[in-house]
Amino acid sequence: QKEVEQNSGPLSVPEGAIASLNCTYSDRGSQSFFWYRQYSGKSPELIMSIYSNGDKEDGRFTAQLNKASQYVSLLIRDSQPSDSATYLCAVNRSGGYQKVTFGTGTKLQVIP
Amino acid sequence: NAGVTQTPKFQVLKTGQSMTLQCAQDMNHNSMYWYRQDPGMGLRLIYYSASEGTTDKGEVPNGYNVSRLNKREFSLRLESAAPSQTSVYFCASNPGRGSSETQYFGPGTRLLVL
């Protein structure tokens, strides 16, 4: 079992719709969770971090964390073509000093 | 404030050649990292440096060495390049213990080993 699992996609959504990206992790002691966005040929950039159960909203983005079920999700409301990118889920493993494990990413395509 | 910079941006090597990838950050961060990214494999940690003067192996350290030259600079060396090391290499930095765990990435180095 991979430490951090994501569906590779592509996930296609029409412009204006809600895109839902999911991630599961295996280490129950994980404490910090991140979503990075990576445009093709570019480096990852952080868009959301979440540390406690529940929802965290930032503009059109909402991160959701459920530690009991070991999943974290990212919702993108009013999806725009500029949101088309690969979204990487990252998890800070327990005991891992400032080290995170990345999932392989989900490719999102927003269709105009 | 340039953030994290990497050189070179692109490099072609022949099998057996050596090279050093350079990384520098101007954010006064304590921790620095080297990742490689391959299709279908995601980002994998090669080495990291929690603070100046320390380095530790990550998930895929074989075939690589690193040097934390000072607080700003963290280099990655391939002593004898192999085709399996063809990849995109990202350097990243982080403020360090007790701070945000956000990692700030450089633009990447695309390496092709023939």
**How far is residue B70 CA from its own chain's centroid?**
15
Q: Above pLDDT 90, what percent of chain A? A: 79
Q: Which residue has the higher pLDDT, A93 or A12?
A: A12
Contact call for A43 and B40, based on CB within 8 A: no
Higher pLDDT, B62 or A3: B62
| B11: exposed, middle or buried (Cβ count in 10 Å: 0-12, 13-18, 19+) | middle
With CA atoms as reference, the chain B residue closest to A92 would be: B101
CA dihedral B25, B26, B27, B30 (to 10 degrees): 50
> Which residues of chain A have a CB within 8 Å of the CB of B6?
none
What residues in A contact B101, CB-CB < 8 Å?
A: 32, 34, 49, 92, 98, 100
- Using CB atoms within 10 A of its CB, is residue B25 exposed (0-12), middle (13-18) or buried (19+)? buried
Min Cα distance A76 → chain B (Å) is: 20
The CA distance from B109 to B98, in Å, is 30
pLDDT at A29: 84
Model confidence at A26: pLDDT above 70? yes
Determine the distance in angstroms separating the CA of A78 from the nearest CA of chain B, rounded to an integer.
26
Residues of A in contact with B103 (CB under 8 A): 44, 46, 90, 100
pLDDT tens-digit profile of B72-82?
999 999 999 99
A55-107 pLDDT, tens digit each: 999 999 999 999 999 999 999 999 999 999 999 999 987 555 567 889 999 99
All residues of chain B having their beta carbon less than 8 Å from the beta carbon of residue A35 are none
Among the partner residues B44, B50, B90, nearest to A98 by beta-carbon distance: B50
- The answer to whether A60 and A76 have CB atoms below 8 angstroms apart is yes
So what's the pLDDT on residue B49?
92
Contacts with B41 from chain A: Cβ below 8 Å = 104
Residue B96 to residue A98, Cβ atoms within 8 A: yes
Verify whether the Cβ–Cβ distance B106 to A104 is below 8 Å. Answer: no
> Mutate which of B59, B103, B104 to disrupt the A interface (most A C-beta within 10 Å)?
B103
Q: Decide if A43 and B108 are in contact by the 8 Å CB cutoff.
A: yes
CA angle A88, A49, B47 (to 5 degrees): 60
pLDDT, averaged in runs of 10, over chain B (114 residues) = 92 97 95 92 91 90 95 96 97 75 91 97
